C-alpha cells in the first residue's frame, strides 16, 4: 500500500460526531436486565452475531433447548453493530496467509463454507424480513500501484488453485474505472460478497431469535463464571444463570476471561462517514453498481456507499493499545486516523474531497496470534469463539454452525473446519505484547511501502 500523507482537516471536518453512524439508522431501547435465578441448557455470554447465530442454529437443531444470551449493553452493541458492512469470504488476514498456513485443500473447504454463509445470510434476511440494506453487488479488491497489482495477481493464482469459478478476472485500469471511476484505481478484481447495514442485521437477528423463544437479556453483564457440580454459574449484577453448556462469545472483549487473557487482543480500526451525497455530487463520479472497494495490502483502506448515499471510508494503520485498552470515550476519536481517511477520500474521489465527514469513530477488531479465528471447547461443557480479525460478518454465521455441532457433539464438516479446535498460541504478557504489536505493525507497514524488499508472508 502506498503511504498516505495526512491531509489538513480544516472546514471539511467541522461538526463531526464521534459516534457510530449505523446506530442512527435504527434507534435501540435496550431490554431490561436479568433479575433473579435462571437454570437452562445453554448460556451464551455476549450478544453479537456469534451468540445469536449459534443460538439460532442450536434452536433449529433442537427446539427444546433452553437458551439464554447475556449481553452487557444491547444486542449488536459490539463489533456486530458497528462494522463496515463488507460481507467478505475472507478468513483471517487473507487467502494467501490461509493457504500458507493450512494448505490449499483445507483453505478451499473453509472458503466454501463461508461462501455458503454469504448466500444464506441474504436468504435469512429475506425470509425473516430483516432489512439489512443488503446490496449484493459485492466489492472489488483494488490496486493503487504496481506492487499491489502483483498482490492481486498472486491472489488470483491462489484462487485458481483453489478451483474458483471462472469470472475472477484482473481488470486493467480502463476496465476497472468503468466500474468505479477513481483515479487511484490501477487494477481491480471482483470479489463475491455484499454490502450491508451491520446494525440492522444485528437488530433483525435479535428480533428473529427472540421471536423463536430464545431469551436475550440486554443490560446484563456477566461478572463471573464458576464451574460447579450443578453446572456453570454465571453471576450478573441482578441475577444468576446456571447452565450445562456455556459459550463465551465476546470476541474482542474475550480477554476479560482468564482462560483467554493472552489468546486474543483488541485492535482499533477507524471509519469516517460523510453526509449524504447530493444527486449532483453522485453524478460527478461514474459508479453504476455501487460496489465497495478494498485496497490490497496489510493495512487495507476501503470505501463504500451506504444505502442513504453517504460515503464510508475505513482502515489505515491498526492500533493495539497498552493492556488491551478498549476505553471507548478515550479512543473513539482518533484525529490522525480521520486525517488519513480524508486523504484516502481525496485520493480516490477528488470530486468529493470537500464533502464533510459527519461521523468518525473506531471499534475493536479481535486478533489472535496466528491471525485466524479460533472456535473450540474447553472440555467441561464450555465453548468459545473469537478472533475474526475484522472479517466476521459471514464467518460468524459459519461459526454458529460449527459451535452448534461442537455443542451437540456432532462430527461434521463444520466441526472440522480449519479454524475449529486448532491449537492457539498465546500472546506474550505486557509489556512484551505492546512492544511486539508495535514492532509487527511497523514491519507490516514497511512491507506495504516496499513489498519488493520484504517478500515473506508476515501474517
Ligand X SMILES: Cc1cc2nc3c(=O)[nH]c(=O)nc-3n(C[C@H](O)[C@H](O)[C@H](O)COP(=O)(O)OP(=O)(O)OC[C@H]3O[C@@H](n4cnc5c(N)ncnc54)[C@H](O)[C@@H]3O)c2cc1C
Q: Does 363 bind ligand X (CB under 6 A)?
A: yes
For 268, residues 6+ apart whose C-beta sits below 8 A from its C-beta are: 318, 319, 320, 321, 331, 334, 362, 363, 364, 365
Residue nearest to ligand X (CB): 392
Q: Does 249 bind ligand X (CB under 6 A)?
A: yes
Least Cβ distance, residue 383 to ligand X (angstroms): 13
Q: Does 313 bind ligand X (CB under 6 A)?
A: no
Least Cβ distance, residue 315 to ligand X (angstroms): 9
Q: Does 368 bind ligand X (CB under 6 A)?
A: no
Residue closer to ligand X by CB (options 231, 315) is 315
Nearest to 194 by CA among 285, 290, 107: 290
Task: Dump the DSSP string for 78-128.
Answer: SHHHHS--EE----SS-HHHHHHHH-HHHHHHHHHHHHHHHHHHHHHHHHT
Nearest to 26 by CA among 87, 82, 84: 82
Least Cβ distance, residue 53 to ligand X (angstroms): 8
Q: Does 269 bind ligand X (CB under 6 A)?
A: yes
Q: What number of chain residues touch ligand X (CB under 6 A)?
A: 38
Q: Which of 99, 159, 393, 437 binds ligand X (CB under 6 A)?
A: 393
Least Cβ distance, residue 22 to ligand X (angstroms): 10
Helix residue spans in 255-334 (DSSP H): 279-282, 328-331
Least Cβ distance, residue 453 to ligand X (angstroms): 30
Q: With beta carbons less than 8 A apart as the criterion, state whether 194 and 138 touch.
A: yes
Residue closer to ligand X by CB (options 297, 390) is 390
Least Cβ distance, residue 251 to ligand X (angstroms): 3
Overall residue count recorded for the chain in this entry: 459
Least Cβ distance, residue 188 to ligand X (angstroms): 18
Gap between the Cα atoms of 360 and 19, Å rounded: 7
Q: With beta carbons less than 8 A apart as the criterion, state whether 68 and 350 touch.
A: no
What is the DSSP-derived secondary structure letter of residue 193? -
Q: Does 303 bind ligand X (CB under 6 A)?
A: no
Q: Which of 48, 89, 92, 303 binds ligand X (CB under 6 A)?
A: 48
What is the DSSP-derived secondary structure letter of residue 130? -
Q: Which of 41, 73, 131, 153 binds ligand X (CB under 6 A)?
A: 73
Q: Which pairing describes strands 311-315 and 264-274: parallel, antiparallel, or unpaired?
A: antiparallel
Least Cβ distance, residue 236 to ligand X (angstroms): 8
> Footprint of ligand X on residues 76-115 (CB under 6 A)?
77-80, 82-86, 88
Q: Which pairing describes strands 301-305 and 311-315: parallel, antiparallel, or unpaired?
A: antiparallel
**In 30-82, which ranges are E strands?**
36-45, 67-70
Stretch that binds ligand X, among 36-44, 70-78, 142-150, 167-175 (CB under 6 A): 70-78
Least Cβ distance, residue 363 to ligand X (angstroms): 3
What is the DSSP-derived secondary structure letter of residue 74? S
C-alpha cell, 312: 464510508
C-alpha cell, 50: 456469534
Residue closer to ligand X by CB (options 251, 338) is 251
Q: Does 72 bind ligand X (CB under 6 A)?
A: yes
Q: Which of 34, 46, 206, 225 binds ligand X (CB under 6 A)?
A: 46
Q: Which of 43, 56, 68, 71 binds ligand X (CB under 6 A)?
A: 71
Residues forming contacts to ligand X in the complex (CB under 6 A) are: 45-51, 70-73, 77-80, 82-86, 88, 221-222, 249-253, 269, 363-365, 388, 390-393, 396
Amino acid at each position: 500500500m502506498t503511504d498516505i500523507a495526512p491531509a489538513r482537516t480544516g472546514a471539511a471536518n467541522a461538526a463531526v460526531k464521534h459516534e457510530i453512524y449505523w446506530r442512527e439508522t435504527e434507534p435501540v431501547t435496550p431490554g431490561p436486565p436479568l433479575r433473579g435465578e435462571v437454570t437452562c441448557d445453554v448460556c451464551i455470554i455476549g450478544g453479537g452475531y456469534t451468540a445469536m447465530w449459534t443460538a439460532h442454529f442450536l434452536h433449529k437443531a433442537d427446539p427444546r433447548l433452553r437458551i439464554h444470551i447475556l449481553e452487557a449493553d444491547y444486542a449488536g452493541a459490539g463489533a456486530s453493530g458497528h462494522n463496515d458492512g463488507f460481507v467478505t469470504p475472507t478468513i483471517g488476514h487473507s487467502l494467501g496467509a490461509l493457504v500458507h498456513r493450512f494448505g490449499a485443500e483445507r483453505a478451499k473447504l473453509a472458503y466454501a463454507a463461508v461462501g455458503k454463509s454469504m448466500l444464506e445470510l441474504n436468504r435469512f434476511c429475506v425470509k425473516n424480513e430483516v432489512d439489512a440494506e443488503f446490496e449484493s453487488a459485492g466489492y472489488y479488491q483494488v490496486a493503487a500501484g504496481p506492487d499491489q497489482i502483483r498482490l492481486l495477481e498472486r491472489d488470483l493464482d491462489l484462487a485458481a488453485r483453489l478451483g474458483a469459478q471462472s469470472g475472477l478476472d484482473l481488470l486493467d485500469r480502463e476496465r476497472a474505472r468503468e466500474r468505479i471511476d477513481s483515479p487511484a484505481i490501477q487494477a481491480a478484481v471482483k470479489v463475491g460478497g455484499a454490502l450491508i447495514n451491520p446494525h440492522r442485521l444485528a437488530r433483525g437477528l435479535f428480533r428473529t431469535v427472540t421471536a423463536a423463544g430464545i431469551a436475550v437479556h440486554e443490560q446484563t453483564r456477566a461478572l463471573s463464571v464458576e464451574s460447579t457440580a450443578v453446572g456453570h454459574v454465571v453471576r450478573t449484577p441482578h441475577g444468576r444463570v446456571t447452565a450445562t453448556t456455556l459459550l463465551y462469545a465476546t470476541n474482542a472483549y474475550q480477554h476479560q476471561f482468564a482462560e483467554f487473557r493472552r489468546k486474543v487482543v483488541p485492535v482499533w480500526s477507524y471509519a469516517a462517514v460523510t453526509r449524504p451525497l447530493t444527486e449532483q455530487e453522485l453524478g460527478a463520479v461514474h459508479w453504476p453498481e455501487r460496489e465497495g472497494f478494498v485496497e490490497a495490502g496489510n493495512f487495507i483502506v476501503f470505501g463504500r456507499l451506504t444505502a442513504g448515499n453517504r460515503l464510508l471510508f475505513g482502515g489505515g494503520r491498526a492500533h493495539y493499545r497498552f493492556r488491551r485498552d478498549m476505553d471507548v470515550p478515550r479512543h473513539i476519536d482518533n484525529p490522525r486516523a480521520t486525517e488519513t481517511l480524508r486523504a484516502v477520500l481525496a485520493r480516490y474521489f477528488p470530486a468529493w474531497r470537500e464533502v464533510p465527514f459527519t461521523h468518525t469513530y473506531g471499534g475493536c477488531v479481535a486478533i489472535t496470534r496466528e491471525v485466524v479465528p479460533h472456535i473450540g471447547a474447553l472440555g467441561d461443557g464450555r465453548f468459545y469463539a473469537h478472533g475474526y480479525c475484522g472479517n466476521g460478518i459471514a464467518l460468524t454465521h459459519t461459526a454458529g454452525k460449527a459451535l452448534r455441532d461442537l455443542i451437540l457433539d456432532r462430527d461434521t464438516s463444520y466441526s472440522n473446519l480449519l479454524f475449529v479446535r486448532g491449537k492457539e498460541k498465546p500472546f506474550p504478557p505486557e509489556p512484551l505484547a505492546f512492544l511486539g504489536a508495535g514492532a509487527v505493525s511497523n514491519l507490516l507497514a514497511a512491507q506495504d511501502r516496499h513489498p519488493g524488499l520484504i517478500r515473506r508472508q508476515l501474517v
